[in-house]
């Protein structure tokens, strides 16, 4: 049965959309399931209520709503279209169009289950916070976060209607306000938004997120009252109701997160959504009352995977780089899928050669493990792979591929597709397009590229130099290989920063990154490489834009967050660095580099308690890595820094001795050795290590100027002479 509104609307949009049925009705709009006739896809067509549309200026409304159209993030439902129907004023409709999401709203799930399990509530809240963090960094405040505006699909939360409340408020301000009228939903509205004063900032969304998280955990909104006015007053006056004794056991730390997020004053809340993400990532948040705290947070939820390096079954046993490369390419392909948590290459490859995949999966905290083997002989390739369920050891999928070498890309795609089907992961249109894009048409160029990737990951000067040569060999064969250009640029940037601050490396980073972007403007790795190259040239604003674009194109590209954060830290932009390192830990929870550097950032911001907690977590991650890779110099030296900083100098100095035995002349290692010595109170040794580091090619002078780890030696005459000589 169609409504009068649908009957009026259908002929006005018949050339663009076929309106099928009403699927929902809210305070501002009626929602219809429709078919986008041009693109052949289902959409949600949202039509503002006629009485509201009649008071708005259509041009201003459409102009404001387009601000939100630029948002592209895995946890944000994008805006496809918006417009105004023609005809007399009485038939004038304002509408906007978004993807139609199969699944249910968060409101539906809360209504069905009442209180959600803690792990689900926290995961959904982190998804929402990730969407808010991205939007806030792009200048968009939602202003109407509530369960109705969160859709759930395959366990992933997506926030809808970004910019709609702002558009209505801006367009209607002249007609609807006298002393100020708030736009939003009273049960989730912050005090400052309800007051209707100056435009609220991003922290108003954090208050609403706190209300939503409270409701997910308890089954009821934090405040209720018989009238709207009384409900709004409670947001101003009443404390957040206690959560203990509710249906779902909630830890003290989680309750504290909710309470801080819902502080009456914006200044008393978390200041960014990134800080909320970090707080919700604490192991103590997930610890039920009267339970032992978790040693480490789970790396993933239900749909999670670790891809182990494939075994080399070739007769000559000389294809290790190729076996690792195939596994890494599968990791990269799967990592672009938002609904799937994928363990990083460094963590998964630490278990190379381990036979018991169930134990490996348990240690990595994943539900499934992919293992396989490669036999390469001449132009023939045999790849065998199997996906194992960690809980019981059963195979979910297995296959053997006997193909020509030129079919390697098709094999990788088939393995990734099979994993997606076995785990019942739903891909977005964007994820399908990215996954189906082959990096090069030339297998020989690809072979050299894989050799380069293997050596680049060693993170030693000779390894990075060799990696650059391999990428350049790939480019000799295929000059249009954008990923190889990005790889060569990364090598030049790394060499310039840690080992050889030469003009040739600076120019190499510039030229290769520029060409990578020219060849493939949609390649996230190219934008990240360009951001690093521009940072070295101190073109910081341009660099930041490139890093932002890399993150937009691939929100799971860890390197974009890591190097963007390092660039901000080197400039002394500690708030930005903290947010980015925090997001990096969310993308790659098992990584030790982000939390280690985050300690320094927190100390610089005066957040000593956060620094101590993050330092303890960093030490746990580093020691776990060293248990598997005792000769990893980066883990050794960063472990030395952490132990010297947090009260165990004996262990720190022991790790320093091991580091220097492995890499006594590596300038990058020597810089971190100097930091550890400075923190341990060994000033002369620290300055001596710095002098040797600079002599051997260290070129990151911004770090020497801003690194708080070196504060103890800044008054040392030789340190001052070192800076003066630059």
| Per annotation, catalytic residue among 36, 120, 133, 144 | 144
3-state secondary structure 639-670: HHHHHHHCCCHHHHHHHHHHHHHHCCCCHHHH
User: Count of CB atoms within 10 A of residue 241's CB?
Assistant: 15
Cα 705 to Cα 714: distance, rounded to the nearest angstrom: 9
Q: Which DSSP helix (H) or strand (E) runs through 380?
A: strand 380-389
The tokens of 49 are what?
Answer: 């209520």
Pairing of strands 104-105, 41-48: unpaired
Q: Which DSSP helix (H) or strand (E) runs through 136?
A: helix 118-137
Contact assessment for residue 76 and residue 135, using Cβ atoms and an 8 Å cutoff: yes
Q: Whose CA is closest to 593, among 624, 567, 562, 556?
A: 562
Q: Whose CA is closest to 102, among 41, 169, 54?
A: 41
Contact assessment for residue 310 and residue 373, using Cβ atoms and an 8 Å cutoff: yes
**What does the DSSP 8-state code read for residue 294?**
P
The tokens of 551 are what?
Answer: 């993150």
> Facing residues of 96 across strands?
46, 82
Note every long-range contact of 374-377, with CB atoms under 8 Å and residues 24 or more positions apart, other chains counting: 374/310, 374/311, 374/312, 374/313, 374/314, 374/319, 374/322, 374/323, 374/326, 375/313, 375/314, 376/314, 376/319, 376/322, 376/405, 377/314, 377/315
356 catalytic per annotation: no
Residue 529 burial class via C-beta count within 10 angstroms: exposed 0-12, middle 13-18, buried 19 and up: buried
Note every long-range contact of 527-530, with CB atoms under 8 Å and residues 24 or more positions apart, other chains counting: 527/553, 527/560, 528/486, 528/557, 528/559, 528/560, 528/563, 529/485, 529/486, 529/487, 529/489, 529/490, 529/493, 530/489
Cα 166 to Cα 283: distance, rounded to the nearest angstrom: 36
Cα 394 to Cα 31: distance, rounded to the nearest angstrom: 44
Cα 39 to Cα 379: distance, rounded to the nearest angstrom: 42
Q: Whose CA is closest to 249, among 290, 301, 212?
A: 290
User: Which residues are tagged catalytic?
Assistant: 144
């Amino acid at each position: 049965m169609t409504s009068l509104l649908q009957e009026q609307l259908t002929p006005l949009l018949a050339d663009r959309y076929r309106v099928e049925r009403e699927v929902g009705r809210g305070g501002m709009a009626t929602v219809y399931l429709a078919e986008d006739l041009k693109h052949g896809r289902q959409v949600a067509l949202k039509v503002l209520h006629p009485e509201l549309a009649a008071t708005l200026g259509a041009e201003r409304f459409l102009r404001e709503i387009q601000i939100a159209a630029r948002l592209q993030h895995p946890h944000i439902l994008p805006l496809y279209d918006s417009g105004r129907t023609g005809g007399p004023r009485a038939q004038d409709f304002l509408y906007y169009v978004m993807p139609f999401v199969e699944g249910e709203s968060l409101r539906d799930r809360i209504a069905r289950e009442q209180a959600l399990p803690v792990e689900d509530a926290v995961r959904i809240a982190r998804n929402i916070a990730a969407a808010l963090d991205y939007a806030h960094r792009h200048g968009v405040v939602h202003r109407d976060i509530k369960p109705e505006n969160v859709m759930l699909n395959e366990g992933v939360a997506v926030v809808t209607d970004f910019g709609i409340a702002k558009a209505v408020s801006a367009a209607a301000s002249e007609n609807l306000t006298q002393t100020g009228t708030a736009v939003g939903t009273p049960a989730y509205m912050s005090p400052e938004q309800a007051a209707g004063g100056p435009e609220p900032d991003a922290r108003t969304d954090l208050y609403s997120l706190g209300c939503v998280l409270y409701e997910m955990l308890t089954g009821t909104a934090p405040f209720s009252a018989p009238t709207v006015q009384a409900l709004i007053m409670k947001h101003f006056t009443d404390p957040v109701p206690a959560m203990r004794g509710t249906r779902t056991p909630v830890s003290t730390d989680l309750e504290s997160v909710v309470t801080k997020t819902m502080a009456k004053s914006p200044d008393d809340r978390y200041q960014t959504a990134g800080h909320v993400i970090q707080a919700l990532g604490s192991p103590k948040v997930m610890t039920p009352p009267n339970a032992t705290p978790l040693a480490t947070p789970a790396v993933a939820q239900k749909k999670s995977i670790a891809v182990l390096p494939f075994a080399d079954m070739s007769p000559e046993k000389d294809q290790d780089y190729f076996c690792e490369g195939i596994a890494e390419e599968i990791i990269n392909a799967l990592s672009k899928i938002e609904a799937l948590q994928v363990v990083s290459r460094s963590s998964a490859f630490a278990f190379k050669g381990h036979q018991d995949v169930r134990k490996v999966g348990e240690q990595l905290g994943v539900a499934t493990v992919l293992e396989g083997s490669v036999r390469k002989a001449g132009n023939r390739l045999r790849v065998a792979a199997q996906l194992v369920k960690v809980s019981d050891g059963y195979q979910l999928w297995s296959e053997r591929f006997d193909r020509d070498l030129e079919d390697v890309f098709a094999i990788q795609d088939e393995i990734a597709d099979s994993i997606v089907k076995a785990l019942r992961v739903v891909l977005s249109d964007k994820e399908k397009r990215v996954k189906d894009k082959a990096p090069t048409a030339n297998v020989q160029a690809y072979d050299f590229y894989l050799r380069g990737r293997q050596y680049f990951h060693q993170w030693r000067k000779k390894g990075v130099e060799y990696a650059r040569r391999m990428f350049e060999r790939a480019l000799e064969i295929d000059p249009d290989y954008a990923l190889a250009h990005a790889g060569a640029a990364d090598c030049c940037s790394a060499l310039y920063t840690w080992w050889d601050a030469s003009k040739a490396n600076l120019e190499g980073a510039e030229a290769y990154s520029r060409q990578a972007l020219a060849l493939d403007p949609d390649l996230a790795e190219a934008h990240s490489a360009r951001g690093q190259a521009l940072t070295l040239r101190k073109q910081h604003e341009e660099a930041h834009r490139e890093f932002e674009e890399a993150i937009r194109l691939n929100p799971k590209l860890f390197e974009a967050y890591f190097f963007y954060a390092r660039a901000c830290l080197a400039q002394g932009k500690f708030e930005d660095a903290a947010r980015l390192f925090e997001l990096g830990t969310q993308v790659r929870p098992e990584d030790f580099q982000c939390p280690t550097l985050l300690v320094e950032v927190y100390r610089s911001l005066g957040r000593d308690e956060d620094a101590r907690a993050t330092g303890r977590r960093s030490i746990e991650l580093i020691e776990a890595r060293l248990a598997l890779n005792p000769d990893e110099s980066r883990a050794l030296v960063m472990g030395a820094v952490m132990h010297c900083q947090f009260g165990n100098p004996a262990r720190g100095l022991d790790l320093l001795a091991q580091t220097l035995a492995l890499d006594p002349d590596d300038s990058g290692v020597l810089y971190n050795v100097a930091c550890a010595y400075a923190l341990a109170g060994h000033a002369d040794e620290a300055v001596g290590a710095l002098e040797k580091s600079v002599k051997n090619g260290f070129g990151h002078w911004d770090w020497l100027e801003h690194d708080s780890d070196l504060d103890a030696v800044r008054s040392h005459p030789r340190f001052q002479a070192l800076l003066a000589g630059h």
